[in-house]
Structures are given as C-alpha cells and as structure tokens.
Chains A and B, each alone.
Chain A
C-alpha cells in the first residue's frame, strides 16, 4: 500500500495479458507514475529505438496517491520514447481514468509489440483482454468512448483512446480520456496508434487501501485545508482556470505572439478568462458554462464551454452544440496568441477538435504559427494549402487547419509533422519555436528568464510543467524572484524540476503546488505507503528521476548542444513591455545549471552525482 503492487503486461504481438509483481525496490527509489514507469521503460527498451517501431514500449502509470482521498488524486501518465522528439516522453492527464485503473488493481500497464490489426484493451479488475477495434479505426475519441460504453453496456467504464490523427501519423497525437482530458504532449498517442491500439477501457471496483488510514485522512484533510485557504487554488483557479494567466503574462511582456515575433498580443484580453465569462452579444450566453473537477480534486480548475451556436464554425454542425472541454491557458495561447487569432469562439472550436481527434493544441498552434510566418514570407503557397490563405491572425485558417490536421488530410499532413520538421522542410529551421523538437508553451523566455533555462534543459523538450519557475518569477510562489534577471535562476530551475518530478510521481496534480510544498505532500505519501517518505527523500527521488531521464536522452543521442533555445529568443530582443530590449540570457545560466546539477561542463552527470543518487 498504496501501490497495488501489480503490473499488467500486454504483449500486443502475441495478444497476451499477464500480471506481474511490482518491483518494490524500484518503487522505493522512484515513487510511482512518472519516475517508476520511466525506470521500467529505460530498463526495457533500447534508447536508440525508433519510437514508432514495435520495439518501443508504452506505459500507462498511476502513482501511490492516485485514486485516494488526497486532493487531485486523478493523475496518471503515459510514458514512452516520443516520436516528435526522440526524447523521453511522459504526458500527464486527469479526469477519471487513472483512478479507475488503480481501483482495478493495477499500478501500471506496460504495452509492448504491435497488434496485427486494430485492437482495444478491455480491463475489468484482474481480467484483461484484447478485443477487435476494427469498427473504431478511423473514428474520433468521442465516438470511441461512446461505442465502448454502449458495447459493454457500462456507462461507468473509463476510456482512454486515440483519434484519427494518431492513426495517420500526426506526430503530436495525444491520448484523450474522459472526452476532454489529455496526456497531451510529445506524441504519446502516435506511439499508441503505431501499435494498432485504439483504446484502453477500464472498470475497477476493488478500491484502494492506504498503509495507515487514520494518519492518511489527517494528512489529506490538513492539506485540503491549505488548498481551500489559498487564494490561487480556492478562488483564482476555480473561477478563471489556468486562463487567469492570459492577461497577467501579456502585461509582463512574456506572451509569445505570432511565432514569438512579439512578446505581447493586442488580442490577449479577447481570448482571456475574463472574456470567457462575458455575455456574448450574439446569443446572450457566456462561453464558459461551468468549472469541472478531475477525480478527487478540490480545486476544480477545468473549463467547460459551449460554443456560440451562431458562430460560423458550428452553425450547421449541431454535433458541436453541446458542452465540452473549454480553453485552458496553454491551448488559448497556442491557438490564439501564437497564431495571432483573437476569435474566442474559433479557438474554442479548435480546442474541441483537438480533444475529439486527440492532438496536442500546444504543438498544433505553435506549428500553425510557424506555418503562417512561412506563408507570409511566400515559402508556403496557396497550392500547397489547398487554397486556404494561411495569413497570420486568420481564424478561418485556424479552424480549417485544425480539422485537416485532426484527420491528417491535405496540408494537415504537413502540419502534422510539428514545427521542427515543417520549418526544416521549407529551409528555415530557425523558425521552429522548439527545443529538442518540442514546441515551447505560453511563456516567453525573454520576459521570464528562468523559464528559458527550464525549456532548454527539460528532458521531454521545451515544457512549462517540468520546472514552472513562472510561479516564482511572476506569481511570487513560494517567493518572488525578478523575471528579468538571470542571477540565481540555475538553482531555482533545479529546485522546481526536482520537486516537480516528485509531485508527478506521487500521482497528484502539479497545480496543488501553487499552495502546497513537499511539506504538505510528503506526509500524505508517507501515511499512504510503506517506506519512509519525507521532504528530503522525496526531493532526492525527484533529483534521481531527473538524472535518470537525462541519462536516457544522452543514450538516445542528445548532447549538451541540444540544451538550447530557438535563435529568435537568443538574438531578437523583445520589442515591447517590461522586457523590451532583452533576449534570453541562457548562456549566463546554463554553465551554472550544469554545476548545481553536478554535471560536467558539457552536460553529462558525473560519476559522483550518479553515485550519490544511486543510479
């Protein structure tokens, strides 16, 4: 406890499902979820494997707190070698699927090989089998979930699936569960589809026990009180969602706009949290209709929206008139600011399609932003786009291209490559706003210096949820640092990265850390699990996980040279706002970062560091 201590191993080539005991030595070192599954992956695959070959593996993993009464206990992750990046991929999702998997008695599912034809994995507690998914191939995640629930006559079943994009090789396909929660980044869904696996559905009725129930409930209740008394987690996030950031980040001049040509977007307020709550003139309703919690979450930041029925995107499509997942900040930024589009309803529609067809809105939006720049420069022609004018700021270009990418048709196939391959194809690799092949999200490193170092060194490629220094640099959590300076950022980035690895691995949501520190989390893990879990042991596990991921990437062929940022951020100064005149000072931070990490000057963990961490 609170691991189930069981792994489900599914060999898709042979069609077998077998149970095996969890390696508890590894559990004590890597906690669960992100850390523990990465350990399994590294032990079992060749780091140089082609991510889309049957030799790559795909792991669905829960953490020790997943499914318990700890707040935000919904989380599970999908771990594999990512096809977009060739780096370690670990994408985290909420909803209800993860808790259901744990309640069925499994800490993780390891999927290996490749099925001869389309299949889906059906799990009912300890019974698991592969079933024919040919009726589902070529259909969306929304259809897949409905079909599976109807076929098994079980509305309580939880489903995680891939859409048409993944089947057709869009390199940033997600795994979507519960209709609009996604393991979004790095193309984990593309790997799933490459194995001919359309969906995993699960029904769990066994429940989840903890080591010391009384101590656990005390720790969980105390920690929930901390969330309830914190302004961000009790008011800001439930009211506005992560979209609370749109106007804030724009104000501080760190909103990457039009493929990061600018750092402020004049249309930011049109696509902000506040705009989602405004009554529309057209139909007298608001875009946002509710906030929704994931399993066990006492924050409830999730957005649920309805698109304006008179909007051109859906006026003749009643199938999109229902409520579904609304815009989170990263999606609103990518679909809006990165493309220069300020039409909130068009963005919401694009977000619906990203969920329906399971594509990562961050990479899609950033890739479209790059394509728009190439189009305006005359490098992409109307002939290639099928006549669609890809002008910067065109809502019609956004909504047409998201449909085409979701189905991997026409120019959508090219956009499905991601910005790195797209920009290389047109001879302008420097226009891809990516690190290690992964597009960076909604914070510009010229205006928030620490986040640039985090992007450059993040193991899955540029990513905010690997070391969210924005909390400190902009929001003052746990303490305020100056976003415009590089001093002290190396240590700050390391601290955020290590703590985040521990939080992810516990099976809870990173958003708790707007209010919680490991002081609030460790007692919950300790009461739930065997072993000794303190702030120190969790931080050490976090650092161990970070270095393990780094070692995988080095073995996969990455070097310190890949710890960099797009030239635009390093050479072209911010034109407006508080960061006007600044570029990213990555060169000032990176050597110190290697030093505080205990790595060599070219970014390789030293023998001492590996020894200290037991690697």
Chain B
C-alpha cells in the first residue's frame, strides 16, 4: 500500500509545527525556511494552507533531471533526491508545476519532501490533523464522506 500526505487546509491554524518538525527531522535544528512543507497564511481571508510535494507518479522533477539524481521508490512511491548525484542545475525546480522542489544555496543541492522514510514528521506533529498520512488511494475518502453526509436523500424518498 502506498501512503500519502492528506492535507485538509480547513483544519490548519497556521502554527507551523509541521515546518518546525520537518526542519528538525532533516536539519537537526528548528528553521522553518528549511522546511519542505510550507504553511501559507492568507491574512485577509484567514486561510491557512499547508503545501508540499504530492509525490507525482510521473514526476516532472524526475523526468527532467539530467543526471538521474531523483529516483522513485517502487514500494512507497517516494521521489527522493540523491544528494551525491545532484549537481544543483535547478532544472527540476523549473519543471515542477507546484514549486515543491527547491534549491538550497548552502548545500548547492535541491531538496524536496521524502516522507521522512515512511513516518512524516509534519503529520506526526500537526496538532489539528490538518496533515495526516494515509492510504494514497483513500486520500479523498474523508471529503467524500463529508459531502455524502450533506447529501439530502429525503426528496427522493418522498416522491
């Protein structure tokens, strides 16, 4: 079973515990600018939206990498960057339609979400379940259920 991050922005409060957890997991310090997941805060509408890599099946970043530094794990579907191979050309950052793979000037390499090897720190630390790590095939399940609950079947029953 492949698992994926399911993000429900409606539950997010903008606390950035996911960013703190991500940077700590990958860098050993608390530094939100090094997080591979970002919470965008739209103040005027009070919307808080966590955003990160969705691990595309036919990943643009992987397709365009000229040195084959981005590989896919067949079991988990995770696309990860092999730092030893990456030459920092940044073509993947251009190819990615979502902007979720980024260059780190400090290391000269690109970085992206790697699902923390199967136990994503962001999902673990999210206090409101805005980010959960679930069966990739069921990512829409909660939303379907929510809409199903709102479906009014009474008119049909009456007619």
- Mutual binders A and B: yes
- Flag whether A300 is at the interface (Cβ < 8 A): yes
Taking CB atoms and an 8 Å cut-off, the chain B residues in 1-43 that contact chain A are 13-17, 20-21, 23-24, 27-34, 43
- Contact digits for A427-462, partner B, Cβ 8 Å, 1 yes 0 no: 000000000000000000000000000000000000
Most chain B beta-carbon neighbours within 10 Å: one of A217, A228, A289, A290: A290
Q: Does B88 contact A (CB under 8 A)?
A: no
Q: Which of B15, B48, B125 contacts A295 (CB 8 A)?
A: B15
Option from B16, B33, B43, B47 in Cβ contact (under 8 Å) with A296:
B16
**In the complex the two chains form, is A69's CB within 8 Å of B20's CB?**
yes
Residue of A nearest to B21 (CB): A69
Q: Shortest Cβ distance from A176 into chain B, in angstroms?
A: 13
Contact between chains at B23 and A207 (CB < 8 Å): yes
A323, B15: Cβ atoms under 8 Å? no
Contact across chains for B30 and A208 when beta carbons are under 8 A apart = yes
A223 within 8 A of B: no
Q: Does A292 contact B48, Cβ atoms closer than 8 Å?
A: yes
Residues from chain A with a CB closer than 8 A to the CB of B67 are: none
- CA of A67 to CA of B125, assembled, Å: 15
Q: A207-B23, A228-B127 are in contact. Are A292 and B14 (CB under 8 A)?
A: yes
Q: By the criterion CB–CB under 8 Å, are A300 and B15 in contact?
A: yes
Name the residue in A67, A99, A292 with the highest tally of chain B Cβ atoms < 10 Å from its Cβ.
A292
Q: B66 to chain A: closest CB distance in Å? A: 29
A560 to B125, CA, bound (A): 48
CA distance A295 to B127 in the complex (A): 13
With contact pairs A213-B24, A217-B24, A297-B15 given, residues A69 and B34 touching in the complex (Cβ less than 8 Å): no
* A68 lies within 8 A of chain B by Cβ: yes
B46 within 8 A of A: yes
CA distance A607 to B112 in the complex (A): 60
Q: What chain A residues lie within 8 Å of B43 (beta carbons)? A: 179, 322-324
B30 partner, pick from A207, A290, A300, beta carbons under 8 A: A207
Which label, helix, strand, loop or mixed, suits the secondary structure of the A interface?
A: loop
CB of B45 closer than 8 Å to a CB of A: yes
- With beta carbons under 8 angstroms apart, the residue of B33, B44, B46, B125 that contacts A69 is B125
Residue A294 at the B interface, CB < 8 A?
yes
The interface residues of chain A lying within 8 Å CB-to-CB of B127 are 71, 224, 228, 298, 300
Does the CB pair A209–B21 fall under 8 Å? no
A600 interfacial contact with B, CB 8 Å:
no
The total of chain B residues at the interface (CB under 8 A) is: 26
A235-264 residues with Cβ-Cβ distance < 8 A to B are 238
Q: Is A206 an interface residue (CB 8 A)?
A: yes
- A293 & B33 in contact (Cβ 8 Å cutoff): no
Q: Please, which residues of chain A bring their CB within 8 A of the CB of B34? A: 207
The complex places the Cα of A190 from the Cα of B68 at a distance, in Å, of 59
* B-facing residues in A281-303 (Cβ within 8 Å): 289-298, 300
Determine whether the beta carbon of B31 is less than 8 Å from that of A206. Answer: yes
Question: CB distance A213 to B28 under 8 Å?
Answer: yes
- What residues of B have a CB within 8 angstroms of the CB of A296 in the complex? 15-17, 20
Q: How far is the CB of B32 from chain A (nearest CB, A)?
A: 7
Q: Does A304 contact B (CB under 8 A)?
A: yes
- The complex places the Cα of A296 from the Cα of B43 at a distance, in Å, of 17
Which B-chain residue is minimally distant from A179 (CB atoms)? B43
Residue from the list B13, B31, B44 in contact with A208, Cβ < 8 A? B31
* Complex: A71 Cα to B15 Cα, angstroms: 9
Chain A: minimal CB distance from B138 (Å): 25
CB distance from B150 to the nearest CB of A (A): 18
Residues of B within 8 A of A297 (CB): 13, 15
Complex Cα distance, B44 from A516, in Å, reads 33
Q: Is the CB of A323 within 8 A of B46?
A: yes
A103: CB under 8 A from chain B? yes
A residues 81-110 with Cβ under 8 Å of B? 99, 103
Chain A: minimal CB distance from B151 (Å): 22
Q: How near does chain B come to A247, taking the closest CB pair, in angstroms?
A: 24
CB distance from A65 to the nearest CB of B (A): 10
B contact residues around A324 at 8 Å (CB): 43-44
> Across the interface, which residues of A come within 8 angstroms of B30, CB to CB?
67-69, 103, 207-210
Nearest A residue (CB) for B39: A293
Q: Is A205 an interface residue (CB 8 A)?
A: yes
Which positions in B face A, CB cutoff 8 Å?
13-17, 20-21, 23-24, 27-34, 43-48, 125, 127-128
Q: List 20 A-B contacts (CB under 8 A).
A: A67-B30, A103-B31, A103-B33, A205-B31, A205-B33, A206-B31, A207-B29, A209-B30, A217-B24, A221-B125, A290-B13, A292-B14, A293-B14, A293-B16, A298-B15, A300-B15, A322-B44, A322-B45, A323-B43, A323-B44
Contacts from A to B (Cβ < 8 Å): 67-69, 71, 99, 103, 156, 179, 205-210, 213, 217, 221, 224, 228, 238, 289-298, 300, 304, 322-324
Known contacts A209-B29, A224-B125, A290-B48; 5 additional CB pairs below 8 A are A71-B127, A99-B32, A289-B46, A296-B16, A296-B17
